[in-house]
Amino acid sequence: MALRQIREVGDELLRKKSRPVEVVDDKIRQLMDDMYETMKHADDGVGIAAPQVGVLKRVIVIDLGEEGDGRVYKLVNPQIIKQKGEQVCREGCLSVPGVTGDVVRPKEVVVEALDENGKKVKIKATDLLAICLSHEIDHLDGVLFIDKATKIYDSDEDSEGDND
């Protein structure tokens, strides 16, 4: 595993649409391992998308740690196929340092994806996991939380919230 450099807001690459992965091979698994390590190395990271490390592929990694179900989600070509309800959460992002914001997200989502072995998986998620999946999938379409935020806070106001 290796740490990769996290791209930050202002970098054009973060605004591009990522391409679907055709084959889940060792290269993709290596990418996911590196993304996981990079996320864990960064403060409060709970999720990361491939464009954040400069790779325009539809790959995300989520680990909510103590706030989650103990599962690490390594997902390829994730797609929200159903969503229900609304919730507002104070979000942050490893690519947008020093800023958090209130974002309206679905309360529940159903996501279809491939896992790290290329097997089809369906994930029913609520609350924080639903937020995180929605946030990371947005990255794959070049969307950042600051585009959707109804209110933005500087981190020195209050550093609560997770970095996705």
Joined together, the tokens standing for residue 48 give 């990361």
Which lies closer to Ni ion via its Cβ, residue 21 or residue 48? 48
Residue of 112, 136, 157, 160 marked catalytic? 136
- Residue 59 CB, shortest distance to Ni ion, in Å, is 14
Q: Which residues of the chain form contacts with Ni ion (CB under 5 A)?
A: 93, 164
State residue 129 phi and psi, 5-degree precision: -65, -35
- Residue 89 CB, shortest distance to Ni ion, in Å, is 13
Which lies closer to Ni ion via its Cβ, residue 64 or residue 93? 93
Distance separating alpha carbons of residues 4 and 39, to the nearest angstrom:
9
- Residue 9 CB, shortest distance to Ni ion, in Å, is 10
CB contact set of 28 (below 8 Å; sequence gap of 6+):
21, 57, 59, 76, 116
Which lies closer to Ni ion via its Cβ, residue 24 or residue 35? 35
Which lies closer to Ni ion via its Cβ, residue 16 or residue 122? 16
Query: C-alpha 69: how far from its chain's center?
Result: 16
- Residue 119 CB, shortest distance to Ni ion, in Å, is 26
b/e per residue 97-134 (b: at least 16 CB within 10 A): eebbbbbebbebbbbebbebeeeeeebebeebbbbbbb
- Told to judge if 112 belongs to the known catalytic residues of this protein, a careful annotator would answer no
Look at residue 61 and give its three-state secondary structure: strand
Q: What are the catalytic residues? A: 136
